[in-house]
Amino acid sequence: MHKIRWMLEALRVPNDNPELTLSQFEAFSKQVPLLYFILTTNMLSLAWTHRDIAPAYLVIYLPAVLAVIFILRGAGWFFSRHRKVDAAQAYRRLRATNRLAAPIAIFCTAWSLALLPYGNGYEQAHVAFFMAITVIGCIFCLMHLRSAAMVVTVLVNIPFFIAMVLSGEPTFVATGVNVILVSMAMIAILLTHYRDFRQLAEQRHVLQAQNKTMQVLSDENLRLANLDSLTLIANRRSFFHTLERRHAQAEAEGGILAVGVIDLDGFKPINDMYGHSAGDRVLVEIAERLKRFESDTISVYRLGGDEFALILTAFDEANAMALGTRICDAIAQRINLGSGIVQVTASLGIALYPDVGENGHDLYERADYALYTAKRHNRAGVVVFNAVQARELSRQKVVEETLQVADLEKELSLVYQPIMDVASRRCVGFEALARWNCPTIGPVSPAEFIPIAEYNGRIGLITRLLLERALSTAATWPDDVFLSFNLSPHDLVTIEGVMRLIGIVEDSGFDPRRITFEITETAVMSDFEQASTAIHLLRQLGCGIALDDFGTGYASLSYVHRLPLSKIKVDGSFVSEIHRRGTSFKIVKSVLALCSEMGLEAIVEGVETEEELVILEELGVRSVQGYHFARPMADALTHTLFAGPEDKAAVKLRGRS
């Protein structure tokens, strides 16, 4: 029963695997023209040898009709062999061929056997040859359509074998047996080939499926690699890749291109006050607001942290400024975190090609510098890179290149600005201030070279070098005079860096209690936990810690109670014209009250007039510094402040001149 079922299954065209059906059809369509060529040539050859001995209908009319049919079908298969078909179409055509195989096999067999009685032994041998070679050729051509090959083999070989046996001629009998055996071998080869072909097709299908899966995974990985995981907008990698491509396109087509760099103002305090999860929600909300501006000409990216970017095509300066203003307004809208309402603003820097930017990264750097300018002079606003900034940036690069090769030990120096006791008008300390006198580009302001040194990594060396010199000078002062020394945020980012500073203090032999390290809010905000650890280590050594420029940042109050501070330095911007500006008066009064409540010493900076000093004295300020007393002076002149009244007056006059 099983064998019968297998035989019936073998005589049908399988339709259980669409991919196999397509592979079968593709291979079979290339063999069918050869099949019809074999049938046509063999049939015409046999008809030719019997042309004078058999009836005309057998050697002329029937062969002619069959030849036309075979040629037309062969040509049809030949010219359509490269035509794309789906699995259903392929199955229908294979099934039609399978059905046609039986009638063709029966007709060809009947026709050839009808010629067998005519002629002598040569003509009869030709009939036997025709049937044998035709069936073998058909088996080869039909090997990709197993069912048709088996139908042809059975329908041709059985009648052929019977005819050969009935002839009684030993040669014909042997030929019949030989053809049967060869056909059986051919069928065995066909079945093996078909099995291997099926396995190969299935493996190819699996491989294609795997490749397709791998391609999908690769595409997904590529998408994820270019996507910011938090905000689900394009990331920094995608930004620079797209920027270079758009820049090259604008350069080739003579188009315009704008890059915008956005930085959030006031984001860090949200992280500190509400936690990083709240900060993440703010970033997601800002990204959603930016995505609303996306279009064919506007692309939005997150570069990292609270920094975003824009790529604008076909935007001139006016349109870019207008868009930037709308974006800043959208970002400034309040955000509901559930636990509270927060608000951040954004500063935006824009650079436009072809005005600037020899390449994509160059254009980005200009936009980033415009952002830097916006944060300094137009916070929460938009700045477009212009000629003034170009000169500043050019100067910055000159300073950076010069600083890299500078002999810092020879070129760096310190000056000292006195810190005065208001009541006694006596100098109680000095703030050490760095100076760089470069032999090639001249004197360079600390406000100019310190940020560059922080950027290129030389700030650590500068801090250590100047601290050693400051301690050496301070060792010559009276024991009740302290040294105030500024630290960069980069000096606090690692424990190793802080331990080096502690080592310098210990090696100097200078009393740590006479040292006050000044830190800015920026130093604390960059990494509060690390900065707090560093400050505690310095306090354990005995050093004082002063929070510099108090009142100018976003979250100074939130740090005061969390850090072991000893002093607060009130920024000079609140002192200028304090005797005329009621707001400044109230701010300074509040800060002094805060310091009194927390047991902190207050030092007021920027005192330049006697009127300002009088008001501060009325408020109870104890320590001040500013040009009213003296400008920063060389180390040799510091000793004159400890001399008699005449010498002090002379120093004061020189300082004001």
Annotation says 306 is catalytic: yes
CA distance linking residue 218 with residue 223, whole number of Å: 8
Packing angle, helices 146-167 and 170-225, rounded to 10: 170
HSE of 638 in the Cβ direction (CA atoms, 13 Å)? 26
> What is the pairing mode between strands 442-444 and 412-421?
unpaired
Burial of residue 147, with CB atoms counted within 10 A of its CB: 0-12 exposed, 13-18 middle, 19 or more buried: buried
Q: Residue 262 — φ and ψ, nearest 5°?
A: -115, 135
Q: Which residues contact 562 (CB under 8 A, 6 or more apart)?
A: 528, 532
Residue 437 pairs with which residues in a beta bridge? 443
DSSP, residue by residue, 428-456: EEEEEEEEEEETTTEEE-HHHHHHHHHHH
Please give the helix or strand (H or E) that residue 470 lies within, else none: helix 459-474
Please give the helix or strand (H or E) that residue 173 lies within, else none: helix 170-225
Residue 568 pairs with which residues in a beta bridge? 547, 602
- Which of 477, 483, 469 shows the shortest CA–CA distance to 413? 469
Catalytically annotated residue among 306, 368, 491, 548? 306
DSSP, residue by residue, 117-151: TSS-HHHHHHHHHHHHHHHHHHHHHTTTSHHHHHH
- Which of 271, 240, 249 shows the shortest CA–CA distance to 364? 240
Sole residue written with tokens 């002379």: 650
> What is the pairing mode between strands 515-519 and 544-550?
parallel
Q: Give ∠ CA 314-392-401 in degrees, rounded to 5.
A: 110
CB crowding 602-624: b at 16 or more within 10 Å, else e? bbbbbbebeebbebbeebebbbb
Residue 191 in tokens:
């079945």
Residue 418 pairs with which residues in a beta bridge? 430
The single-letter DSSP state of residue 657 is: -
Q: Which residues contact 399 (CB under 8 A, 6 or more apart)?
A: 441, 444, 448, 449, 452
Which residues are known catalytic residues?
A: 306
